[in-house]
A = this chain, B = another copy of it.
Amino acid sequence: MQNGQIQTAVVGVSGYAGMELARLLLHHPRLAEAPPLFVGRVEEGRESVPLVSMHPQLANNHGSPEIKMLPFSWELLEERGVNVLLLATPHEQSRSWVPEAIARGLRVVDLSGAWRLDEEINRSVYKFVDEDPERAAELQQESVYGMPELHREKIGRARLVANPGCYATSIILALKPLIAREWVNTEHGIICDAKSGVSGAGKLPTAKTHFMYAADNLSAYGVYSHRHTGELLEQLHLDADEITFTPHLLPIPRGILSTIYVTFWEPKTAGQVNHCYQKFFAGSPMVRYFGSQLPQIQYSVRTNYCDIGFQLSPDGRRGVIVSCLDNLLKGAAGQAVQNMNLMCGWNESEGLV
């Protein structure tokens, strides 16, 4: 595929991550010749839906043809020679469609939570009912967790990439370098206090996404029960009682800041910690390590960067990690493009900066 023609298709462009995905792919330099195909649910009797009717901000005035979303069908994908499929669909839909997509020879980046979790106990929060459990188990086995900083090579070869959760991305990238070195005393517990903008809650209007609920407010939710927890456990090889993850709803449109607290087995110096992070992310263009200057949400919003900073306690035995990213980009659509780039043999950050 690295030499052949890439033809991408996106399913599920109506949500926030879908819109960002559309925007990124429409400006992607490697897709200029073969623009992405947008497919989805089109009202009976209509031939297509202009993207601009869902997302007026995507309008242009440059004489380029209007971008349209066509009614989804496997035949259409085949007809158009699609070989890379990006799914910004609900968890259940992704769980149900992926086996067919793989069977038809497509390579898939799935933005949902459907294929991220290997352990059934972690996956159980999604309550999937697989039509062909055996096939699903095989695919689950095969699927690669789409975090390039951890699984770059596997992603390059993968047929099925499960794009990580937004909170999970922010936390795993912050902790992995220290945990990989076995510096962290997990018996003392790792605390992940994370805060996300409202776009993370999705586009469906609910009591919790009402402006009056979120504005001028802050609320914790999903304590000891958020479904991104499973990703933390599996990717960081932790037990459930070694990590506490508390998400909060911030009164801002987008961005995540995670404040993470660790205890070390042995005292460390700032120099040791900086070196640890710098080494770990040496080949990773989409992580910016700020050292003791802590990143803020504003720095990474509307970029594909995950920004990480670290402050050591005076006695060197404890540390506070601050990790920021844009939940719709590095936490969703941007990381999906990063994965797509790797699958196509392109530069990881192409079309992202």
A250: chain B residues within 8 A (beta carbon): 218, 250-251
- Interface residue range, chain A: 35 or more
The 11 sampled A-B contact pairs (Cβ below 8 Å) are A62-B349, A198-B212, A210-B211, A211-B213, A215-B215, A216-B253, A217-B296, A221-B294, A223-B320, A244-B320, A246-B320
Q: How far is the CB of A224 from chain B (nearest CB, A)?
A: 6
Task: List the number of copies, as a whole number.
Answer: 4
- Tell me the A residues contacting B by CB distance below 8 Å: 16, 56-57, 59-62, 188-189, 191, 193, 195, 198-199, 203, 205-207, 209-221, 223-224, 240-241, 244, 246, 248, 250-253, 255, 257, 259, 261, 263, 281, 284-288, 290, 293-303, 305, 311, 313-315, 317-318, 320, 322, 349, 353
The 3 closest A-B pairs by CB, nearest first: A205-B205, A219-B296, A193-B193
**With A241-B315, A246-B320 as given contacts, are A216 and B298 in contact (CB-CB < 8 Å)?**
yes
- Given known contacts A218-B250, A244-B261, what 17 new A-B pairs fall within 8 Å (CB)? A56-B295, A57-B303, A61-B287, A188-B263, A195-B248, A205-B206, A209-B211, A215-B215, A216-B301, A217-B252, A218-B255, A220-B259, A221-B294, A223-B320, A241-B315, A244-B313, A248-B259
